[in-house]
Structure 1
Amino acid sequence: MTAIIRLRTLLPTIRRLDFASRSGSGSQCAWSGKGHGSVAVAIDADASIRFIETGQFRLDAPLARAVPFRNVFRWTPGSEHMALSHERRGVDAGVWLFDLIAAPAGESADFVSREAHLCAADRYRAKLTFMDDGFDLEWTISGPKKDEYLRYRYRGSSWRP
């Protein structure tokens, strides 16, 4: 099974997410912490798959307070890529992030972003790695005020952190 077919098959089975964020020394955001939540999956007529994510994020000490979160990501399959968009503010305000393509030989991931997504002076990159019951999606965000690393663990309903 090709990687793109495997990903298209896997996406509708995802029900849970667990993630950690780490702000590096160049960050002015201070959003280091951990979160977990659920994923509701919606499959649209164009074969795109939306992840409606809800849960709790807890900042590391000394801030250590829980913050509710809600995100919506749209996965749109192409013949040799998977487009990822962010729709937190609704379908009409969706923001295309990047196309995930098969990783080159020697890469530790199964997919990588074709190009960085630019948001003002910040550059967003991602890589996706298949796991036993889902996949991991790792993000790096760099810019004049950002130095962030996020690791999302998406899993099916049977998985528990």
Structure 2
Amino acid sequence: MASDQGRAIAQLWARLVKVTEFSFTASNGPGSATDWRGHARGSVGVVAGERQLVFAEAAHFTHSDGREVELQNRYRWTLLAESVRLEHLRRDEPVLLFELQPVTEHGFRQAAAHVCGRDKYTAELLLHKNELELIWQIHGPRKNERLHYHYW
């Protein structure tokens, strides 16, 4: 099994290095008190190190009511022995989101949920032929949200 996990991680890493574009859709479900709904499409600048990648994402987010907002995020991916770590770089301070572990040859899931206050974040990442799909779920007293990313 370890060699299967190693192959899945190596395949994911090889794909992450090549990412140049992304899109995402934000939606919320029953019980959500947030208004985070809409979609974005933009570019990804990748700065690659030996075992780390930094994604600088830039896009225009179009809210479901038509408002547009400029969106910029920085994420750091780190290659580990049995997983790939994803951190959000807020003001260059890393916030651990997930360690994604292979569960199939083309599918990853968080090793543990990310907890922020009373909110719990979970994620799965799927490798498709021409894209990577990252789906976040956020559940809490005021949140029931889904962020659906596509990277290519």
SS at match of 1:5: helix
Amino acid at match of 2:107: D
For structure 1, the 5+ residue unaligned runs are 156-161
Q: Give the aligned length.
A: 147
Residue in 2 that maps onto 1:59: 63
1:104-130 deviation digits (Å, cap 9, x = unpaired) = 69xxx6000011000000000100000
Deviations 1:53-107 (A, max 9, x none): 001101102xx111000001111011110011000321xx1111120001269xx
Residue type of the alignment partner of 2:9: I
| Structure 1 residue runs of 4 or more that deviate by more than 4 Å after TM superposition | none
Structure-2 residue corresponding to 1:76: 78
Asked if 1:15 corresponds to 2:17, the answer is no
Within a 5 Å distance, the mapping from 1:6-45 to structure 2 comes to: 6-45=11-50
What's the offset of the Cα at 1:29? 1.1
Q: Which runs of 5+ in 2 are unaligned?
A: none
Distance 1:131 1:67 in 2: 29
Identical-residue share of aligned pairs (%): 34
Q: Which has the higher strand share?
A: 2
| Partner Cα separation in structure 1 for residue 43 and residue 90 of structure 2 | 15
- Secondary structure of the structure 1 residue equivalent to 2:15: helix
CA RMSD of the aligned region, Å? 1.5
